[in-house]
Amino acid sequence: MRYCRFIFEGHVHYGSVEDRAQEPWIVDLAAAPEEDLAFHLAHARKRALVDDPTGFDFEPMPLSAANLLAPVTPSKIVCVGRNYRDHAKELGNEVPAEPLLFFKPPSSLLNPGGVVRMPTASARIDFEGELALVIGKRATKLKPDADWRSVVRGYTLANDVTARDLQKKDGQWTRAKGFDSFCPVGPWVSDEVDPTAGFEIETRVNGELRQHGSTADFIFGIPELLAYITAAITLEPGDLVLTGTPAGVGPLNAGDRVEVSMPGLGVLTNTFQPEHS
Ligand code: ZN
């Protein structure tokens, strides 16, 4: 299963994504994940926005030609800080004894291809390429040896954009991590990859390789993360868990193009521009 979310002729649709010779295509419409709580909140009063896939004549199109949306409608975005040893070290931090959690608000979500707006309040805005888990079933108080795959719908890519100066200045991270447009996600959700098998993540800035990590280097693996998070917080269908970033983070300039990629998850591309331009 691989699905994206996009706007076509003014309506929101979900689409099935397949690799074709040159590039990925949206080959058919897919059912909306109706179990998503946030999906219901968003659409309860405007159901007409989501077409019945059966009543719509869809012609396949290259993904690059589609007006893509973030493929998820999370009620919350739970993030893990310092989950790769080399990244903890590069920022001069100890390797944590237990996962370090923070939130990004759903209002920070940004579409694949969207423009990150660089707030004037910050003088240093960093990229952080990350693997994101998409929750598929309500999960609460999961045991570390639970069947965690049964609550994960699939995987996607995220850029945990961070105002590094404000992260230090504020003492907590809500503003530094939470500006509008600071959470690009996509381009699609897939359950056809296995991140526990050592999964390579790369981040490029203007085409130059800046981050290259493997999920084999996680300090806390996915089962431990899900047990730790759900001991405190119930995860709902559609929620995102950002699993942390490898070494190589760095500041961006206006006009920069950031690409986060993993095999099987495509490329999440976003550009950065000043807030007022
Ligand atoms: Zn991060």
Query: What are the boundaries of each domain within the chain?
Result: 2-68, 72-274
Residue with tokens 């059966």: 54
Ligand 1 mean position to 158 CA, how many Å? 9
Ligand 1 mean position to 150 CA, how many Å? 25
Ligand 1 mean position to 51 CA, how many Å? 35
- Of 139, 108, 263, give the one whose Cα is nearest residue 190: 263
Say what the pLDDT of residue 21 is. 85
Q: DSSP states of 245-266 as a string?
A: --S--EE--TT-EEEEEETTTE
Ligand 1 mean position to 81 CA, how many Å? 5
Q: How many CA atoms lie within 13 A of 21 on its CB side?
A: 0
Is the pLDDT assigned to residue 262 strictly greater than 50? yes
CB 108 within 8 A of CB 77: yes
Ligand 1 mean position to 103 CA, how many Å? 10
Q: How many CA atoms lie within 13 A of 172 on its CB side?
A: 5
* pLDDT tens digits, 152-202: 999 999 999 999 999 999 999 999 999 999 999 999 999 999 998 888 999
If you average pLDDT over residues 46-57, what whole number do you get?
54
Ligand 1 mean position to 218 CA, how many Å? 13
Ligand 1 mean position to 52 CA, how many Å? 36
Ligand 1 mean position to 160 CA, how many Å? 5
Say what the pLDDT of residue 105 is. 97
> Is CATH 3.40.50.850 correct for 72-274?
no
Ligand 1 mean position to 233 CA, how many Å? 19
Ligand 1 mean position to 255 CA, how many Å? 22
Element at 70 (helix H, strand E): none
If you average pLDDT over residues 47-73, what whole number do you get?
78
* pLDDT tens digits, 18-27: 999 889 999 9
Ligand 1 mean position to 260 CA, how many Å? 13
Structure-block tokens of residue 104 = 């990004």
Ligand 1 mean position to 12 CA, how many Å? 29
Ligand 1 mean position to 209 CA, how many Å? 18
Residue bearing the bigger pLDDT, 242 or 40:
242
Average pLDDT value for the chain: 91
Ligand 1 mean position to 273 CA, how many Å? 20
Q: 32-36, 130-134, 187-191, 216-220: lowest mean pLDDT where?
A: 32-36
Ligand 1 mean position to 32 CA, how many Å? 28
Q: DSSP states of 116-128 as a string?
A: EEE-TT-S-EEE-
Say what the pLDDT of residue 50 is. 53
Ligand 1 mean position to 139 CA, how many Å? 22
* pLDDT category of residue 48 using cuts at 50, 70 and 90: very low
Ligand 1 mean position to 165 CA, how many Å? 15
* pLDDT tens digits, 214-256: 999 999 999 999 999 999 999 999 999 999 999 999 999 999 9
In 191-256, the DSSP E strands lie at 200-205, 208-214, 240-242, 250-251
Ligand 1 mean position to 49 CA, how many Å? 33
Is the pLDDT assigned to residue 98 strictly greater than 70? yes
